[in-house]
Chain A
Amino acid sequence: MAHKSTLDRLRILADAAKYDASCASSGTSKRDSRGGKGIGSTEGMGICHAYAPDGRCISLLKLLLTNHCVFDCHYCVNRKSSNVERAKFTPQEVADLTLAFYKRNYIEGLFLSSGIIRSSDHTMEMLVETARILREEHDFRGYIHLKTIPEADPEIVHCAGLYADRVSINVELPTDAGLTRLAPDKNAGQIDNAMAGMKSAIVEAKDAKKRFRHAPKFAPAGQSTQMIVGADAASDADIVTRASSLYTRHRLRRVYYSAFSPIPDASAVLPLKRPPLIREHRLYQSDWLMRFYGFAPHEVAQAAGADGMLPLDIDPKLAWALKFRESFPVDVNRAPKETLLRVPGLGTRAVGQILMARRHRRLRLDDVAKLTVSVKKVQPFIVTADWRPVLLTDRADLKALIAPKAEQLELFAA
């Protein structure tokens, strides 16, 4: 086989990495390259250096070390039985590429994952080695996210946390049954154990840091995970419940959802109907409701229909409000913060501004309009100094009045 050029390998291994949703580079410890020998800084807020036409941010150099894999997970483009073109990088090559891109200000750092070659331990060692070269040989102070392999020796996995800002282990599928079926080489218990191990290491390191200034940092940006949506039978309610248990049990920073997307050379074990992209969006919205709007997981599940699926045509917050109309309207001049956060159309920022502004004036509908994106959406659910929705909140066709209009079919399109 002819040796592939760096350009070709970059193309293959970036292409293989695009199914990992995370590109976050925020929330790690603050540091910069002053006083060091290398380059790099992290200042809290992540930076998206580019956006691809799929609307996703490009913040990190997202690569697989190799897309060779001994595993045979059916949803994965890199599985053993797939015919995709294969390539691999050495840790040194990835480190060099990361530095070359970073110096030109293309990226915030590296997100490295890999197919399993030889063994889980060997692969994990290669991932850690890449991070080590960057940190120790080049004094790189940018962001590093390492995917860790739950099947690998915990000690090697632990090393990943010493070099990386963030570590992640993918739960892959929302249900254990789905995992057994679609990722026959993986084991739900093992994944859970690995996450639990990671959590205690992160907590311990934080604790040590409080007591000893020079205690080593361990994955200061925490751990995250990803699950594929629409590849198994899990309902939105199942997924939300699973996510919330991951947040609480393993203190994950983020759970990413990835709508199953057609992959080249897919397995036909499960002929998959592609889930609508909007489903993924609704799940992220419900994730936000739990993390920033004070919704409990069972409340998000209440917004779902009898089949456990969130409506696709309206967002989960509106769905919840339409189901629990007795909680509305809410008086924007009096209601406490938690109640305001429940109003469809009011985001956390608008709520903050309402709370501040109402100390100075009795808010009228006009004022609320200035603080929100769409007052029309908010109107049926609020009371202001000069507005009361009267019967609106009780109207049976309320959903039709405020839900975004479905696009007209292009009857007369050329």
Chain B
Amino acid sequence: MTALQHVRLGTYYVMPMATSDDFEEWRDHARRLLMADVPPDRVAWTEPGGSAGDLFSHGDRRLPVPDRDAPQPRVSKRFMDIAKTVLLNSDLERFSLLYRVLWRLQAKPRLIEDMADPDVRAMADMARAVRRDIHKMRAFVRFRVVEEEAEDGSRGEHYVAWFEPFHHILRHNAGFFTRRFANMRWSILTPRGSLHWDGETLREGPPATRADAPGGDPAEDLWRSYYASIFNPARLKVGAMLKEMPRKYWKNIPEAQLIPELIAGAQAREATMVEKGALDMGERPETLDAINKAIHACARCPIGELHNTAVMGEGPQDAVFMIVGEQPGDQEDLQGRPFVGPAGQLLDVHLAQAGIDRSAAYVTNAVKHFKHAQRGKRRLHQSPTAKEIDMCRWWVESERMIVQPKLVLAMGASAARGMLGRTVSITKARGAPIPLEDGSELWVTAHPSYLLRLDGAGREEQERLFREDLAAVAARLAQLQAA
């Protein structure tokens, strides 16, 4: 019969598919139909258990008889590759779509390359949905472990998963799971059928229900905890998540139940992070006056909240030389000026000896407030923590940007950290300049209050080193000023 005869005689063929995902079966039917010259609109395909609908209720259930001299149909590999995937789609139209394209390909062999054609496009879309489902199954299957006695009597772990695929992909994915978990006993249960692997052979089983699968696994608590921790609440992008992990998959993913609370808590968590975290120090102050005002109001670290007053640096705004100490002491705090207490007096003696004019230098501290502990009537000095120094670095750095000294002398480890942002050893760092990023140089020495705490031979030795450092700085200053 020719195509025309089929139409004239009003013959319809109902093609009942015995399986949902067997490409060979569809191909045999399609080849037969094609060789019998049956046009696509004369064929109704049915799924296992389905019907062809009213239109085809009187259809001929016998297979068409191919013309004896009909040539074997030929088709490109590209079509076959896509068709194999399309066939796994659960869309009832897939059989007829594939047959229609196959039919059209006989007249136009390269039709499959024309992505602007609606049929070719529909095939591509169906194939894509299947590939996605295949991929998502590999991603979202979650095994739960059960202790079980094997047939040989030995006890062992059996990994069981419940999954609900949207397309006929279970059998297709069997290879992936056997390759990945070759040495595990596992089962994947789905409403469309099940797979069982014992480490050697793969067995197919009947459809299952959720109740057949284990209800939980202690490792899921660890996994959920991991899921909640790896998520960064500062970058909430729910749309991006939903695109890749649509809600329809959530019910079988243990960690997905956390999503609503994670999203709800994210903004609060981010706010806390910001509050505890990077402080908004605002615009950098542009004058020393502005810094002075700002540090008096600063309570960004606990020192600022103690009973004390901020102490601003002092000296010419165009000083070539800047001296940085640790923090104001008791006297400095009371007088509101840097280096006026015992350590300051010792410093003055040494500066004079080295021939350095203190009044020409800008003198300041790495930390602006006096950190202390109250002991009766006395306020005992306490060292600032690295974090406190780092926080205050904003201010001393602003001072440095305004004064722009050519040489900075940091006295003590805290001052050095305030300049460099890292802790250095005074012993290793002293005696040689450290270049700063604005082209100026940093010299490091001990803090004079350290000298005050020593006595005897130790004091003598440290005073000698301190003198040497200041002498070296004085010599370098002379060089810089001459240049």
Q: Is there contact, CB below 8 Å, between B222 and A371?
A: no
A43 interfacial contact with B, CB 8 Å: yes
A-B contact pairs, 5 of them (CB 8 A): A11-B225, A15-B230, A39-B183, A81-B386, A103-B184
Taking A48-B244, A104-B145, A370-B116 as contacts, is the C-beta distance between A40 and B180 under 8 angstroms? yes
B226: nearest residue on chain A (CB-CB)?
Answer: A14
Q: Given A10-B222, A34-B179, A262-B277, output 9 extra A-B contacts at Cβ < 8 Å.
A: A18-B232, A35-B182, A47-B139, A51-B241, A55-B240, A81-B386, A83-B387, A268-B392, A370-B116
B293 interfacial contact with A, CB 8 Å: no
- Which of B143, B161, B221, B278 has the most chain A CB atoms closer than 10 A to its own CB? B278
B121 interfacial contact with A, CB 8 Å: yes
> How long is the Cα–Cα vector from A57 to B262 in the complex, in angstroms?
16
Q: Is there contact, CB below 8 Å, between B139 and A48?
A: yes
A158 cross-chain contacts in B, Cβ below 8 A? none
B397: nearest residue on chain A (CB-CB)?
Answer: A269
**8 A Cβ contacts from A34-49 to B:** 34-41, 43, 45, 47-49
> How long is the Cα–Cα vector from A50 to B390 in the complex, in angstroms?
38
A17 interfacial contact with B, CB 8 Å: yes
**8 A Cβ contacts from A215-258 to B:** none
Q: Is there contact, CB below 8 Å, between B142 and A81?
A: no
Taking A34-B182, A36-B183, A361-B114 as contacts, is the C-beta distance between A271 and B394 under 8 angstroms? yes
Q: 10 tightest A-B contacts by CB? A: A55-B240, A55-B237, A184-B422, A81-B386, A271-B281, A32-B179, A367-B116, A52-B231, A268-B391, A14-B229
A261: nearest residue on chain B (CB-CB)?
Answer: B234
Q: Is there contact, CB below 8 Å, between B230 and A262?
A: no
B237 cross-chain contacts in A, Cβ below 8 A? 53-55, 277
**8 A Cβ contacts from B44-77 to A:** none
> How long is the Cα–Cα vector from A273 to B281 in the complex, in angstroms?
9
**8 A Cβ contacts from B79-128 to A:** 110-111, 113-117, 121
A272 interfacial contact with B, CB 8 Å: yes
B138 cross-chain contacts in A, Cβ below 8 A? 47
Q: Is there contact, CB below 8 Å, between B235 and A261?
A: yes
B387 cross-chain contacts in A, Cβ below 8 A? 81-83, 265, 267
A180 cross-chain contacts in B, Cβ below 8 A? 437
Taking A18-B230, A38-B183, A184-B422 as contacts, is the C-beta distance between A47 and B235 under 8 angstroms? no
Q: Is there contact, CB below 8 Å, between A47 and B135?
A: yes
Q: How large is the interface on A (under 10, 10 to 19, 20 to 34, 35 or more residues)?
A: 35 or more
> How long is the Cα–Cα vector from A407 to B183 in the complex, in angstroms?
54
B111 cross-chain contacts in A, Cβ below 8 A? 360
**8 A Cβ contacts from B259-275 to A:** 259, 262-263, 266, 270, 272-274
Which segment, of A165-173, A294-302, A351-359, faces chain B? A351-359
Q: How large is the interface on B (under 10, 10 to 19, 20 to 34, 35 or more residues)?
A: 35 or more
Q: Mark B332-376, 1 if CB is under 8 A from A, else 0.
A: 000000000000000000000000000000000000000000000
Q: Is there contact, CB below 8 Å, between B232 and A32?
A: no
- Which of B115, B219, B233, B253 has the most chain A CB atoms closer than 10 A to its own CB? B115
B238 cross-chain contacts in A, Cβ below 8 A? 53, 55
> How long is the Cα–Cα vector from A85 to B115 in the complex, in angstroms?
56
Q: Is there contact, CB below 8 Å, between A101 and B244?
A: no
B153 interfacial contact with A, CB 8 Å: no
A274 interfacial contact with B, CB 8 Å: yes
A50 cross-chain contacts in B, Cβ below 8 A? 139-140, 227, 245, 253, 255-256
Q: Is there contact, CB below 8 Å, between B235 and A39?
A: no
Q: Is there contact, CB below 8 Å, between A49 and B140?
A: yes
CB of B149 to closest CB in A, whole Å: 19
Q: Is there contact, CB below 8 Å, between A271 and B280?
A: yes
A103 cross-chain contacts in B, Cβ below 8 A? 143, 145, 159, 181, 184
Q: Is there contact, CB below 8 Å, between A269 and B278?
A: no
Q: Is there contact, CB below 8 Å, between B182 and A36?
A: yes
CB of A377 to closest CB in B, whole Å: 18
B281: nearest residue on chain A (CB-CB)?
Answer: A271
B260: nearest residue on chain A (CB-CB)?
Answer: A53
B391 cross-chain contacts in A, Cβ below 8 A? 267-268
B377 interfacial contact with A, CB 8 Å: no
A185 interfacial contact with B, CB 8 Å: yes
A81 cross-chain contacts in B, Cβ below 8 A? 385-387, 390
A33 interfacial contact with B, CB 8 Å: yes
**8 A Cβ contacts from B122-152 to A:** 135, 138-145
> How long is the Cα–Cα vector from A36 to B278 in the complex, in angstroms?
50
Q: Is there contact, CB below 8 Å, between B110 and A54?
A: no
Q: Is there contact, CB below 8 Å, between B219 and A104?
A: yes
Q: Is there contact, CB below 8 Å, between B176 and A43?
A: yes
CB of B169 to closest CB in A, whole Å: 15
Q: When the two chains form the complex, which single residue of A83, A106, A182 contacts B223, counting CB atoms closer than 8 Å?
A: A106
B276 cross-chain contacts in A, Cβ below 8 A? 264-265
Q: Mark B163-192, 1 if CB is under 8 A from A, else 0.
A: 000000000000010111111100000000
> How long is the Cα–Cα vector from A106 to B394 in the complex, in angstroms?
45
CB of A63 to closest CB in B, whole Å: 8
A74 interfacial contact with B, CB 8 Å: yes
B222 cross-chain contacts in A, Cβ below 8 A? 6-7, 10, 97, 100-101
> How long is the Cα–Cα vector from A38 to B199 in the complex, in angstroms?
11
**8 A Cβ contacts from A266-304 to B:** 266-269, 271-274, 277
B430 interfacial contact with A, CB 8 Å: no
> How long is the Cα–Cα vector from A80 to B227 in the complex, in angstroms?
26
Q: Is there contact, CB below 8 Å, between B266 and A53?
A: yes
Q: Is there contact, CB below 8 Å, between A61 and B226?
A: yes
> How long is the Cα–Cα vector from A100 to B225 in the complex, in angstroms?
14
B421 interfacial contact with A, CB 8 Å: yes
B387: nearest residue on chain A (CB-CB)?
Answer: A81
B159: nearest residue on chain A (CB-CB)?
Answer: A103
